[in-house]
Amino acid sequence: MTATVIWNISQNKNFPVEIWKHPKFELELKKLSINEIESINFNKDSINVLFFDISETDYKEKKSFLIKMIQSVSEISLMIFTGFEFNESDFGKFSNNTLFIEKVKPNELKQLLDKTIQAEFYKKSVFEIGHACLANIGFYEGLFQLANKENRDSKDTLKAFELILDYEKQNKTNRDEIGKAMNRVEELKGTEMILLVDTLKATERLNKLREEELKEAIAFKDATEKALQFSRIEEINMQKIIKAQDKIFEFTDKEIRELIQENSDLKKKLDDLAK
């Protein structure tokens, strides 16, 4: 089983993805501070992914070392940066092996890691096949030379070894095809990485739009509730005004009736006096 080491390089921050069991890879998480990266010892048989959650100041301080490391250490498959604005052009032709994630989302990061590790696994498999073919070619070359030296007069033996030589040539052809396949694996890895980055960026933009829509919806809801509350207050105040007016009218009507009655009584008294 191929060993894969994920190096979590941060200031006491937990890795955002829980390490999972994989049928093909043995996953191992190692935690380091930014000041310990210069002492990392990489196993040549392992797949190594470096995850940096650091400040821009720490990055600028270690940038020269990081660029030199990814250019010279073949065991590093991918460097992922987050926590600051990252310039991919810093790494030149090695930019395909570096990635900046503005906002880390565990599911998307896990998918990215899985794709990267699978690509590296198949690349290592191709290398192993290629080395095996080269080893066989050396064996058959030595065997043919020995046979040619010791059995010069044996036509049948020479013919047999000529067939072996034909097999060797076919192996060389296969080696060339393997080389092309290895290059194709690299191209596919680069293309897939670009697509994943574009997908992540598109997802981030979509999430931002959704957040803005949600904020607008909440603001509209708040404004609507406030308008309804204001309308309700106006309605309550209007009802109070109407009730007050009704009381005033009732009071005024009573006063008018009393005045009319007083008038009537007064007129009656005057009439009685006139008689």
What is the Cα–Cα distance from 247 to 228, expressed in whole angstroms?
29
Assigned token pair, 263: 């008038």
Instruction: Give the chain's mean pLDDT.
Output: 77
pLDDT average, residue stretch 163-176: 69
Q: Quick one: pLDDT at residue 160?
A: 59
Lowest-confidence region among 87-101, 107-121, 144-158, 192-206: 144-158
Burial of 204 (0-12, 13-18, 19+ CB in 10 A): middle
pLDDT average, residue stretch 57-66: 91
How many other C-beta atoms can be found within 10 angstroms of the C-beta atom of residue 264?
10
Which of 251 and 257 is assigned the larger pLDDT?
A: 257
2-6, 184-188, 239-243: which is most confident? 2-6
Q: Quick one: pLDDT at residue 49?
A: 93
Question: pLDDT confidence of 65, banded at 50, 70, 90?
Answer: very high
- pTM, to two decimals: 0.49
Tell whether the model's pLDDT for residue 32 goes beyond 90: yes
Question: pLDDT confidence of 256, banded at 50, 70, 90?
Answer: confident
Contact (Cβ atoms closer than 8 angstroms) between residue 47 and residue 24: no
Tell whether the model's pLDDT for residue 141 goes beyond 80: no
pLDDT average, residue stretch 64-68: 91
What is the Cα–Cα distance from 120 to 25, expressed in whole angstroms?
11
Assigned token pair, 211: 């957040």
Tell whether the model's pLDDT for residue 133 goes beyond 80: no
Assigned token pair, 210: 């959704």
Domain coordinates in residue numbering, the chain: 2-104, 124-210
Q: Quick one: pLDDT at residue 143?
A: 54
Burial of 74 (0-12, 13-18, 19+ CB in 10 A): exposed
How many other C-beta atoms can be found within 10 angstroms of the C-beta atom of residue 230?
10
Instruction: Tell me the pLDDT tens digit for each residue of 72-126.
Output: 888 888 989 988 887 878 888 777 788 888 888 888 888 888 888 888 777 766 6
Tell whether the model's pLDDT for residue 177 goes beyond 70: yes
What is the Cα–Cα distance from 15 to 100, expressed in whole angstroms?
16
Question: pLDDT confidence of 159, banded at 50, 70, 90?
Answer: low
pLDDT average, residue stretch 134-146: 56
Strand partners, 30: 7
Tell whether the model's pLDDT for residue 165 goes beyond 80: no
Contact (Cβ atoms closer than 8 angstroms) between residue 1 and residue 25: yes
Nearest to 30 by CA among 46, 9, 11, 54: 9
